[in-house]
Structure 1
Amino acid sequence: MKKKMAIVLSAILACSMGMTAMAAPSPSIQKEPVAQVVVSPSVGTSNTVTTQAVSVSSDKSAVLPGTTFKTASGQVVDPAAVAMVIAPASAEQAQASAASLAAAMASSKMQVVNFTGRNGLSLTDSKGNLNVVNNMVIGLQTAAGEAVAQNGSVSAAFALADILGAATLAEGETIQALYQRADGTWVAVPVVIKNGAVAVALPAFGGAVNVTFVVAKGAHMEDVPATTSPRT
């Protein structure tokens, strides 16, 4: 599995270094009515993604060259001293995130920004549901536990089976990841799926972000553009 994760992380970084992407306008996301909001019962109860802390540059995570790290006081932190902390969200957090995302999708302003590099992005599954299969909090911190903000892009890799949990993908479905910024806007981020592993690229954020994984119509993406955004 380490080799598979290395492959998906390499795919994100290789394409990121060769392209420059800006946030696409909301019309690049399909305006779809949500039939139902469905949250997997395993989220917050029998989480398949466990709490873990790894170096931000490891076999499970990677850093886009040029990314900088700073503490709240403005102190620059060497990437080697930054840990990525991943913790499964509670059932309550997952339900709240799903409700917020559904409201953003239904808003006349469509408060979802597309950083995936894809046009016509769908956020509902083949049944028209907003189908949340996993939810986790991803943050950065020093060895002393001080929160760290990053201004660039960091990536995290997982086993696809761990993200899906008890869920399965129907033909023509894939996984899409999003997180919510401090201003309430949702950001759809790049996702690469290869050989049973999945990697997500997270543009600039401060402290920690709640990352929501949904089943969406579309094909798996194997190459993605770079991502940069204002810090959350």
Structure 2
Amino acid sequence: MKKRMAIVLSAVLACSIGMTAVAAPSPTIQQETVQDVTVSTALPAAAGAPQISAIVGAASTTAVLSGTTFRNTVGQTVDPSGVRIVTTPSDLASTQVSAVEIAQAMTSRTMDIYNFTGLSSLALTDKDGSLNVLNQVYVSLQDEEGNVIAHNGSISTALEIEDILGENRLEEGETIQAMYQRADGRWVVIPVVIRNGVVAIALPAFSAPVKVVFLLTKGASYEDVQVTVKSPMT
């Protein structure tokens, strides 16, 4: 399990190479017609308990872009080996709110959805033209005492694909896209690599806990997802 996670994490981190800590993602997601908005009914009514999903210094469970630094709330540099990636499963109601916000941004003439994947084109709707939300988690960085940690580069972590899909299954011509919400409320599509039953994501700089939403979309079958893509122009 740890070996396959390490392989996929290295692949998704390659998607982040070339992104600088101060670079803003490019608003290149084109407007799509959203036929419907669906949210997995398998999501719980209450948010789950926070879980330490990875230790930043452990190569088998996370990967860090070279040059990334970690700081506590008073600006002191923190050793990566003391930083934990904490994920908290979202509840159904909060996920439904995010789904509405994303759908509004997809059809708005004034709200941008930023593309931080490096891919020149991608879809956010499924084969039926629906915004299909599979899952949502909150991701934060914390030290050993549970204090919030900020980072200024790119970090990657992995989750089991079964935990993301729930009762859903990927069919031919379907894949998973991931988005996170910035502090200013705007949504960013982030790099995803799916392989060997693992979903790996790369997250740009953040401080406070961020929402990460997973979508079922049309696209390459997950066995065929490319692991090296050109970094986005900013």
TM over 0.5: yes
Tell me if structure 2 keeps the 8 A contact 1:141–1:207.
no
Q: What one-letter code is carried by the residue in structure 2 that aligns with 1:96?
A: V
Q: Which residue of 2 aligns with 1:71?
A: 72
Tell me if structure 1 keeps the 8 A contact 2:15–2:191.
no
Q: What one-letter code is carried by the residue in structure 1 that aligns with 2:213?
A: T
Structure 1 residue 37 displacement after superposition = 0.9
Matched, 1:152 2:157: no
Structure 1 residue 185 displacement after superposition = 0.8
- The Cα RMSD (Å) is 2.4
Task: Give the TM-score taking structure 1 as reference length.
Answer: 0.88
Task: Give the TM-score taking structure 2 as reference length.
Answer: 0.88
Q: Which residue of 2 aligns with 1:206?
A: 207
CA distance in 1, matches of 2:100, 2:16: 31
1:107-146 alignment runs, 5 A limit: 107-146=108-147
Tell me if structure 2 keeps the 8 A contact 1:83–1:142.
yes
Deviation by residue 1:78-99 (Cα, 9 ceiling, x = unmatched): 1111111011011121111111
Q: Which residue of 2 aligns with 1:215?
A: 216
CA distance in 1, matches of 2:141, 2:233: 17
CA distance in 1, matches of 2:123, 2:206: 24
CA distance in 1, matches of 2:150, 2:86: 13
CA distance in 2, matches of 1:163, 1:2: 18
Q: Which residue of 1 aligns with 2:51?
A: 52
Matched, 1:197 2:198: yes
Q: What one-letter code is carried by the residue in structure 1 that aligns with 2:63?
A: A
Tell me if structure 2 keeps the 8 A contact 1:202–1:227.
no
Q: What one-letter code is carried by the residue in structure 2 that aligns with 1:200?
A: I
Structure 1 residue 64 displacement after superposition = 1.3
CA distance in 2, matches of 1:207, 1:105: 25
Q: Which residue of 2 aligns with 1:33?
A: 33
What is the count of residue pairs matched by the alignment? Answer: 226
Which 4+ runs in 1 deviate beyond 6 A?
A: none
Matched, 1:170 2:175: no
